[in-house]
Amino acid sequence: MEELSTPDESVVTLDSSNLSEISFSANPQILVIGCGGAGNNCVNQLHKLDIKGAQTIAINTDKQHLEMIEADKKILIGTQVTNGMGVGGDPRIAMKCVDVSRPVLDEILCEAELVFIIAGMGGGTGTGVAPLIAEIAKSHGSIVVGIATTPFKMERLRMRVAQVGLIHLKKHANSLIMVDNNKLLKIAPKLPMQDAFKVIDNLIAEIVHGITETITQPSLINLDFADVKAIMGNGGVATMLFGEGTTANPETIIKNALKNPLLDTNCKGAVGALIHITGGDKMSLQIVQDITAGITHRLDANANIIMGASVKPELGKRVKVLTIMTGLKPPKMLCPMDDEIRDPVRRRIPRIHGGSSQDTDLEPFDDYKMPPTK
């Protein structure tokens, strides 16, 4: 008599009694973390969008600013170091704040699978905290996507400090997207300052919102967390493309996506792309094919391109495309610092905690190591 093989315990039979439970557990745990003032402002905007499938977290050393922010969780770190008064533009004080708050941060990050870390580079808290949050998240096995804004060119010392922060963030993030504040001067030079910075906040919110809902909401051609991991897991420098138009004119959608004035959209030689196209019920397969081909024609010949599509009848004839490009050539700001660049950073940074101003050297920031996880 032939012996029957035992059932494979890894195979799960779906029925109406366990489908909802399995579907819920299949969604990855996604955290969106804003570090410092600029990062907190972006998280505040995301929270208002009611992002589905992700938890928003604001981390700061400045109690007053944190109280103004709306997020699922708000964490004031390093109160023993700063008394909740911020770090006075010194990233190393911010790093000490991470050290003393490490147990709380470990607890929050230990089960996350995808972590977005948003920060403005060049100041104190964002520059010092974001790379260390990335390091902690990655040590727990998370895919880490850093999104960093860079200072205006007129902010000379902040530009140098930002470079140190960006190099550290790139080291610990799987992918890094940079948004240049200088481009605001080209597209919104006469807007009130508060409104101009909201343009950046809205852009970053759209980036995170788009990626998160793409992998947590069902689609006709589905994209999931494994696809994001494949493209962004070792993505290096990355960028985002957005385009919108009608089914009658897919060329306009491609042009809009490739000409975003706030993002570096030079995609030549990119080695990975995650593309999600959303349209009304009149969107054809040919339109999806044309948009995908138009956006990816300058990518590396062996680029890994993963495409998804969803239908939302309320869009009518409108079509939207969201694309993540990875493996781009690093910009100059991410090149290793030499002495010519490092010397201007060795300047007097006022300390507001623990005494008078003194000469400070950012080399300890450059060589800083996190204490081992207990």
Q: 154-192 pLDDT, tens per residue?
A: 887 888 889 889 999 999 999 999 888 888 887 778 888
Question: Cα separation of 147 and 340, whole Å?
Answer: 27
Per-residue pLDDT reduced to its tens digit, 299-357: 888 889 998 898 989 999 999 998 888 988 887 777 665 544 444 444 434 443 443 33
Question: Cα separation of 47 and 56, whole Å?
Answer: 7
Residue with tokens 């495309």: 321
Question: Cα separation of 251 and 237, whole Å?
Answer: 27
From 70-74, 88-92, 211-215, 310-314, the region with the lowest mean pLDDT? 211-215
Q: Are 128 and 165 in contact (CB under 8 A)?
A: yes
Question: Cα separation of 128 and 168, whole Å?
Answer: 9
> Of all residues in the chain, what percent carry a pLDDT higher than 70?
81
CA-angle at 228, arms to 224 and 233, nearest 5°: 145
User: DSSP E strands: which ranges in 106-170?
Assistant: 114-120, 143-150
- Domains of the chain plus CATH, in order, are 28-212 (3.40.50.1440), 238-328 (3.30.1330.20)
pTM (two decimals): 0.82
DSSP 78: -
- SS3 state at 231: helix
Q: Are 321 and 294 in contact (CB under 8 A)?
A: no
Residue 289 has pLDDT above 50, yes or no: yes
